């Protein structure tokens, strides 16, 4: 990404952050603040199923999203033979995720269990990744069109799913206060964030390790094993991680009625 693109993304990000800040207000009066030792904070997540499931969901998403993003340029450069397609892919990817984040609240409020939306979202993403890997030939123009359409759908599901995961963090905080008698909101938020960053870091770094092991040579004509490796990382590997996230969330039984008991 060139410096100009970084500046543009940074400006857009700041604008949206300011809009988010201006439109956010406290709707409930928090309980009296108390300092919780770090050792006690860890006790709040020991055996805390909703928090642990949410962490697993974020971890799997980190692998899915950032690992796939790291290999996308390789896929269009070598497997598709046209790196210019990456720009169109990015448009469908980012635009779909943004749209999914916008429409998520209109859908999620229909369900008591907030895990419902990401369960279906990650499941659809799994199916789409498998379809792209098994049936899409990126060197055929008509297949590329189908790929972009499927990517748009997957990204909408991704935006909805991730937004839902973030909206579930406050619920787990309320649950932890009810069950364990402590409001470890900062610790729980940091733990879920760490889980996603762990997946992000390992997922991104592992792309280089795996490609190197499969015979990838930068700027050269890639071997059949390297091309297969790129396709697997771009399609089947993300399918596995999105399936893990969907499966884990099936065990998330926290709903709004339980929080207020």
What radius of gyration, in Å, describes the C-alpha atoms of the chain?
20
Whether the pLDDT of residue 6 is over 90: the answer is no
Out of 40-54, 58-72, 135-149, which region has the weakest mean confidence (pLDDT)? 40-54
pLDDT of residue 260: 46
Kindly report the pTM of this predicted structure. 0.83
CA distance 96 to 116: 20
- The sign of the dihedral angle between the CA atoms of 14, 17, 21, 23 is positive
Chain segment 187-244, per-residue pLDDT in tens: 888 899 999 999 999 999 999 999 999 999 988 999 999 999 999 999 999 999 999 9
Out of 38-47, 131-140, 149-158, 214-223, which region has the weakest mean confidence (pLDDT)? 38-47
Between the alpha carbon of residue 71 and those of residues 100, 238, 246, the distances in Å are 23, 11, 23
Out of 3-7, 59-63, 189-193, 231-235, which region has the weakest mean confidence (pLDDT)? 3-7
Please, how many CA atoms are within 13 Å of residue 31, restricted to the half-sphere of its CB? 11
Q: What mean pLDDT do residues 96-107 have?
A: 92
Give residue for tokens 């499927």: 150
Of 85 and 19, the structure prediction assigns the larger pLDDT to 85
Chain segment 18-38, per-residue pLDDT in tens: 887 787 776 656 555 556 666
Whether the pLDDT of residue 87 is over 70: the answer is yes
CA distance 257 to 240: 32
Question: What is the percentage of the chain residues whose pLDDT exceeds 70?
Answer: 89
Whether the pLDDT of residue 180 is over 90: the answer is no
Whether the pLDDT of residue 246 is over 70: the answer is yes
Q: What is the 3-state secondary structure (H, E, C) of 71-84?
A: HHHHHHHHHCCCCC
Contact at 8 Å (CB) between 57 and 249? yes
CA distance 154 to 234: 13
CA distance 100 to 120: 13
Instruction: Enter the tokens of residue 17.
Output: 């952050």
Eight-state DSSP code of residue 233: I
Q: What are phi and psi of 251, to 5 degrees?
A: -95, 5
Whether the pLDDT of residue 261 is over 50: the answer is no
Whether the pLDDT of residue 99 is over 80: the answer is yes
Contact at 8 Å (CB) between 34 and 180? no
């Amino acid at each position: 990404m060139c410096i100009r693109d970084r500046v543009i993304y940074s400006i857009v990000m700041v604008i949206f952050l300011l809009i988010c800040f201006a439109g956010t207000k406290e709707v409930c009066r928090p309980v009296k603040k108390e300092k919780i030792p770090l050792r006690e904070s860890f006790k709040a997540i020991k055996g805390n199923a909703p928090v642990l499931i949410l962490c697993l969901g974020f971890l799997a998403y980190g692998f899915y999203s950032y690992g796939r993003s790291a290999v996308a340029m390789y896929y269009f450069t070598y497997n598709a033979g046209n790196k210019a397609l990456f720009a169109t892919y990015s448009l469908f990817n980012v635009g779909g995720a943004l749209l999914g984040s916008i429409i998520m609240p209109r859908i999620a409020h229909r369900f008591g269990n907030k895990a419902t939306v990401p369960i279906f979202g990650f499941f659809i993403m799994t199916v789409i990744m498998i379809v792209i890997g098994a049936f899409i030939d990126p060197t055929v123009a008509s297949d590329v069109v189908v790929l972009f359409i499927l990517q748009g759908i997957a990204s909408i599901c991704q935006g909805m799913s991730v937004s839902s995961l973030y909206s579930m963090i406050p619920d787990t905080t309320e649950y932890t206060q009810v069950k364990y008698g402590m409001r470890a909101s900062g610790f729980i938020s940091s733990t879920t964030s760490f889980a996603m960053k762990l997946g992000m870091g390992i997922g991104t770094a592992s792309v280089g390790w795996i490609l190197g092991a499969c015979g990838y040579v930068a700027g050269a004509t890639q071997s059949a094993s390297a091309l297969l490796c790129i396709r697997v990382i771009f399609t089947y590997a993300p399918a596995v991680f999105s399936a893990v996230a969907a499966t884990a969330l099936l065990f998330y039984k926290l709903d709004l009625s339980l929080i207020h008991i």
